[in-house]
Amino acid sequence: MAELLSGYSYDDSLIERGVFEFPDGDVDPDEDLWGADAESFSRNSLVSVIGIEYTSVCQHHLMPFTGVINVAYLPSGGRVIGLSKIARIVWKYSRRLQFQERITKQVASYLGNVVQSPDVGAVSEAVHSCVSCRGVKQMRSSTVTSCLLGEIRSNPVYQRVLFEGISGKKEMSND
Ligand SMILES: [Zn+2]
């Protein structure tokens, strides 16, 4: 019982004892992450990666959630990043105890720093086992979080790209 209740607070020992595993949690995607100069890119054309899958563990309930995240940016800072590197940024922030909302914000802001652009967006949809298996038992409910910054926040065309494939049964936040 104590073990169940401990899910309501952060407890490293659960991971140390192998109750929860992060087999690849030590991966550091920072290495080799920096992109090339964006000479051949138009600074006004959107770069997007849609449908990056991830699995994480809810920090409140210590139960897994799985989802996809769409990310996009304008290379207005003159830098681009290899598309596979974006998946590694998602990896970096999902392979730990997390909240979906925070993953979305962290991915957007990290990407913005890497490409030195204020025009970044990330939209995520995930199914939380803490919602489907306990409490209100919403088996098919998904949660959508988004972080839209700069030009992307004010341009519905860019936002349509970012919300591609997102069914949005329940909007958790939009900021
Ligand atoms: Zn939860």
Ligand 1 center to residue 155 CA distance, Å? 32
Answer yes or no: is 12 within a domain: no
Share of residues in the chain with pLDDT > 90 (%): 49
61 CA distance to ligand 1 middle (Å): 4
In a domain, residue 113? The reply is yes
Is 170 within the bounds of a domain?
no
Within-domain flag for 22: no
Which has the higher per-residue pLDDT, 30 or 159? 159
Query: 86 CA distance to ligand 1 centroid (A)?
Result: 25
Q: Token pair for residue 97? A: 């105890």
d(CA 75, CA 13): 42
Domain assignment present for residue 107? The answer is yes
| Cα–ligand 1 centroid distance for 100 (angstroms) | 9
Work out whether strand 97-98 and strand 47-58 pair parallel, antiparallel, or are unpaired.
parallel
pTM over 0.85: no
Q: Which residue has the higher pLDDT, 57 or 15?
A: 57
Write b or e for each residue in 84-115: b if 16 or more Cβ atoms lie within 10 A of its Cβ, otherwise e: ebbbbbbbbbbbebbbbbebbbbbbebbbebb
Whether residue 25 lies inside any domain: the answer is: no
Q: How far is the CA of 128 from the centre of ligand 1 (A)?
A: 7
Which pLDDT does position 27 carry in this prediction?
Answer: 46
Q: 69 C-alpha to center of ligand 1: Å?
A: 18
Summarize the confidence of residues 16-33 as an average pLDDT. Answer: 50
Residue 152 sits in a domain whose CATH number is: 3.30.1130.10
3-state secondary structure at position 129: helix
Sheet holding 97-98, edge to edge: 97-98, 47-58, 64-73, 120-128, 143-148
| For range 42-60, the mean pLDDT | 91
**Could you tell me the distance, in angstroms and rounded to a whole number, from the CA of residue 71 to the centre of ligand 1?**
23
pLDDT at 21: 53
3-state secondary structure at position 146: strand
Q: Which domain holds residue 77?
A: 38-162
Q: Please give the distance, rounded to the nearest whole angstrom, from the Cα atom of residue 59 to the centre of ligand 1.
A: 7
Looking at the structure of the chain, the number of domains it has is: 1
In a domain? residue 24: no
In a domain, 111, yes or no: yes
